[in-house]
Every structure is written in structure tokens, then in C-alpha cells.
Amino acid sequence: MIGLYKKRDVAIISAAATKCGEHWDKGIKDLAWEAGVKAVEEAGISGKDIEYLVVGNMSGGMFVGQEHIGALVADFLGLNPIPSLRVEGACASGGIAFFQGYMAVASGLYDIVAVGGVEKMTDVEQEQATTALSGAMDFEWEAYFGATFPGIYALMARRYMYEYGLKKETLAKVAVKNHYHGSMNSLAHFRNKINLEEALSAPMVADPLGKYDCCPISDGAALVILAPLEIARKYTDTPIIVKSSVMASDTLSLLKRRDICTLDATVNAAEKAFKLAHIERSQVNLIEVHDCFTIAEVLAIEDLGFAKKGEGWKMCDEEQTYVGGNLPVNTDGGLKASGHPVGATGVKQIVEIVKQLRGEVERGRQVKGAEVGLAHNVGGSGATAVVTILARG
């Protein structure tokens, strides 16, 4: 069935995001409006040109008491009466929104589609945010018995350490690298550099994961506009072609996984994405991966096929994943430093890849001559994964 749904080529004609962080002076409407207006203005279109809107949002109800997010964003952006859909797939909500928007254009159903993601997470106490996020795991068999996401990923990290010899120092290097990239990103939640000693001596969250191994709770929004490639050059001189966008799933709980050191959803999505794109991994110039915890970046490098199982940590240890290295990873700082507004993260990753392929990011973190980029968005501890491959047009 691979490729049967793809009827025409799709391109991104504009991409924009808000700064991630604690936006005490902005609500969910304000964040969506800011990203939306930037993207529309960049594309040189009006709201009347948009035919369909898909919005990723994980838990607007628990964070700000607002469900019906699709209608909310369409209303506030002045897009009525177009169809507007809110999609949810935990932390992969933004990636799924992009996947849905891509299919809508590829199928020929719509020409101009807006794909957004938004989350306002900091208006509640940390305990309430933790409860909301725990809905992304198997609540009955994991959260009910006290498991948290740091705890779940700590189990994965400990098993990986046992199996493959990973040291905590390497996880700390992942954090140091992402803070270094984030320090040059004007939209990042954290723009402070850290050193190895700071990362290693940080307070423990869930052994072996310390404070700097964990991503923050963030507010933010992002939006991209899609169009058929055949008309994309009417709107931009640098269309970014969507070579493929693939979604896959796995068991919700760790208990039923084949291997807790492997996210099979990522493996399956990546294999199909590369097959559809007709692109080899050696052609990829940079990747944005779902580093909700530092161990997740290591696993992603392997599950996406850029290293053999048990050897991805060596790329991090040898600092090959910096800008200028063999495979730059999370050039915006990743979830760790750039931030993780869960419903927006998948779209925010796409925005970073688009800006990199256009050569529009800040000096110091621009990947020279970038032609192909990959975005990897995960829901929960790996029950959902979306892999999207983009290329400069």
C-alpha cells in the first residue's frame, strides 16, 4: 500500500513559530494568532486563500480548560467557514497534524492547507501538568501505579546502559550540545550554555536522568502552509518539498514492547518514509529528533537508521551531532533547550528544517549547504511516531 495515496507533490510555502517559554502575558489564542499571522504574511496570501486547517493540540482541556481547539483557532485567525480539525496524538500531535495536512494536499482534495500546533502549559501547577502529560502513557497500567515520563524514560535508559555500555557522561554531552545549539536560537526556551560538569551534577529527577536530561514544560505555537508543488512557486522562490511524511504506532505501555530500547513505531515510520522519498540516509544533512529526554535522542539516531542498535551513543560521545559534524542533530536546541509545547512541537520541528534548508537560521547553527532534512516526532514513550523528510526545491 506504500505510496498509493500520493497523487501529487506537496511543498511548504511558509513556516513560522513563536518563541517557546513561559508566556504569562499570552493565552492559547494569542500564541496561535502570532504563529498564524507570521506564516500567512510570509506566504503573501490572505486567510481567504486557506481551504483547510489542521491543528495539533494534546490537552487544551486540562491545561487551559479549552477543548474544540480547531474551531477556536479558525475563529481567532478569521478563517471561518473553512473546515478546521484538531488532532491529538500526545506529544506527536503536531507531527500528526502535518501528516494529515500533507495527505489533504497530496490527495488533491485541497490546494492551500494550513497546519498548526499550539499548547499553553504553564498556566497550571506542575502537578496538574504532570497529570495531563501522564495521559500520553498507559494510565491504567503505568501512571496509576506512580509512573511518570521521567521514570519511564529512566527505565529505558537503565536498560540501554546495561545492554550497550552507555555512560551518564554521554547523556550529559547530549544536553550540553542541545543547550549550545539553543543558545543561538532566538526562539528557544533556554538560551543558556551549560558545561559537562553542570549537567552531571544537576539534581536527580529519575535515576539516571537529572534535571538537564529532561525537557521543559513550554508554551508555544507554530504554523506552516502547504500547497501543491506545481503552484508553490507562485508564493515563494524557495519551496520546500515534502518528500514523505509517515506515521506509525506501537504498544502504549512499555510492558508489551518487543524491546524497550527500541521504538518500533520510529523504525517502521522511518523505513517507509525513506522508501517513499527515494532518498538514502547518507543524503540527509540534518535531523530534528524528539529528545524529550537525552536518552530519547540516542534511541532516535539508531531507530531512524543512522547508527546500528547500541552504537548511536558513540555519535553523541564523539560530538558528531553538532552543527559542523557528520550528522547535525537538533540544530534549534531540540525539545531540551528550544522547548516542548507538546501540541506544537512536531510543527516547530518542521519550521526549523524549513529555515535550515532555506539558509535562514542564525549564524553559528546554520548547516552549510543543507539540501535534505528529517523531522521525527514521538507521542508518549513511543506509541506514536511521525517521520517527515523535506528537501530544498
Mean local confidence (pLDDT), 138-155 = 93
Residues of the chain with CATH 3.40.47.10: 10-125+218-240, 132-214+243-392
What confidence tens digit (pLDDT) does each residue in 302-321 have? 999 999 999 999 999 999 99
CB-based contacts of 48, cutoff 8 Å, min separation 6: none
Q: Where are the alpha helices (DSSP H) in 126-221?
A: 126-134, 149-164, 168-182, 196-201
Task: Please say if the pLDDT value at position 1 is more than 90.
Answer: no
Confidence at residue 7, expressed as pLDDT on a 0 to 100 scale: 79
What is the rounded CA–CA span in Å between residue 6 and residue 103? Answer: 7
Verify whether residue 292 is a known catalytic residue: no
Confidence at residue 92, expressed as pLDDT on a 0 to 100 scale: 98
Task: Please say if the pLDDT value at position 326 is more than 90.
Answer: yes
Confidence at residue 130, expressed as pLDDT on a 0 to 100 scale: 87
What confidence tens digit (pLDDT) does each residue in 8-32 have? 999 999 999 999 999 999 999 999 9
69-73, 129-133, 150-154, 319-323: lowest mean pLDDT where? 129-133
What confidence tens digit (pLDDT) does each residue in 97-135 have? 999 999 999 999 999 999 999 999 999 998 898 889 999
Cβ pair 59, 23 in contact under 8 A = no
Determine the residue type at 60: G
Could you check whether the bond before residue 328 is cis, i.e. omega within 30 degrees of 0?
no
Confidence at residue 4, expressed as pLDDT on a 0 to 100 scale: 47
Phi, then psi, of 210 in degrees rounded to 5? -100, -175
Mean local confidence (pLDDT), 186-208 = 98
Residues of the chain with pLDDT > 70, as a percent, come to 98
Confidence at residue 222, expressed as pLDDT on a 0 to 100 scale: 98
Task: Please say if the pLDDT value at position 5 is more than 70.
Answer: no
**How is 251-316 classified by DSSP, letter by letter?**
-SSGGG-S-TT--HHHHHHHHHHHHHHT--GGG--EEE---SBHHHHHHHHHHTTSS-TTTHHHHH
What confidence tens digit (pLDDT) does each residue in 339-356 have? 999 999 999 999 999 999
- Domain 132-214+243-392 class? alpha beta
Determine the residue type at 49: D
Cβ pair 59, 78 in contact under 8 A = no
What is the rounded CA–CA span in Å between residue 152 and residue 127? Answer: 17
Catalytic residue (one of 20, 91, 214, 215): 91
Average pLDDT, the chain: 96
Burial status of residue 4 (CB atoms within 10 A of its CB: 0-12, 13-18, 19 or more): exposed
Confidence at residue 2, expressed as pLDDT on a 0 to 100 scale: 43
Verify whether residue 91 is a known catalytic residue: yes
Q: pLDDT band for 374, please (50, 70, 90 cuts).
A: very high
Confidence at residue 305, expressed as pLDDT on a 0 to 100 scale: 98
Catalytic residue (one of 23, 179, 181, 340): 340
Confidence at residue 152, expressed as pLDDT on a 0 to 100 scale: 96
DSSP state of 92: T
Task: Please say if the pLDDT value at position 136 is more than 70.
Answer: yes
Could you check whether the bond before residue 208 is cis, i.e. omega within 30 degrees of 0?
yes
- With CA atoms as reference, report the closest residue to 294 among 143, 150, 142, 127: 150
Site of grid cell 480539525: 85
Rg (CA), the chain: 19
- Domain 10-125+218-240 class? alpha beta
- Report in angstroms the alpha-carbon separations of 137 from 119, 134, 192, 254, 314: 18, 6, 31, 9, 29
DSSP state of 190: -
What confidence tens digit (pLDDT) does each residue in 157-171 have? 999 999 999 999 999
CB-based contacts of 281, cutoff 8 Å, min separation 6: 274, 304, 305, 306
Task: Please say if the pLDDT value at position 226 is more than 90.
Answer: yes
Confidence at residue 215, expressed as pLDDT on a 0 to 100 scale: 97
Confidence at residue 24, expressed as pLDDT on a 0 to 100 scale: 95
